[in-house]
């Protein structure tokens, strides 16, 4: 069964190479450690090897936080 794709543009943006807007150099992925409510987890985020800028999409960060909060409530 075919599943209609919603927001195909958004999905493609995740896969395309990210470029630092300041240095114009391709970003590399690092594991970012996040600590929230005494919980530790890692998430791969793009980082510029030149200036060290880490790019965390806000919706991603907020989504992660919401997930942690939800799992805490269920216990
Ligand atoms: Zn940079």
Q: Which of 53, 34, 52 is nearest to 43 (CA)?
A: 34
pTM of the shown model: 0.51
C-alpha of residue 51 to centroid of ligand 1, in Å: 4
C-alpha of residue 18 to centroid of ligand 1, in Å: 11
User: Residue 8 pLDDT more than 60?
Assistant: no
C-alpha of residue 19 to centroid of ligand 1, in Å: 8
Other CB atoms closer than 10 Å to residue 26's CB: what's the count?
A: 13
C-alpha of residue 64 to centroid of ligand 1, in Å: 25
pLDDT, residue 50, reads 94
pLDDT, residue 71, reads 74
| Residues 6+ positions from 48 with CB-CB distance below 8 Å | 20, 22, 23, 25, 27, 28, 54, 55
């Amino acid at each position: 069964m075919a599943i209609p794709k919603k927001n195909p543009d958004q999905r493609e943006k995740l896969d395309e190479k990210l470029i630092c807007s300041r240095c114009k150099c391709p970003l590399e992925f690092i594991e970012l450690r996040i600590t929230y409510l005494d919980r530790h987890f890692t998430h791969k985020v793009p980082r510029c090897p030149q200036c060290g800028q880490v790019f965390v999409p806000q919706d991603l960060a907020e989504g992660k936080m919401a997930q942690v909060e939800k799992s805490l409530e269920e216990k």
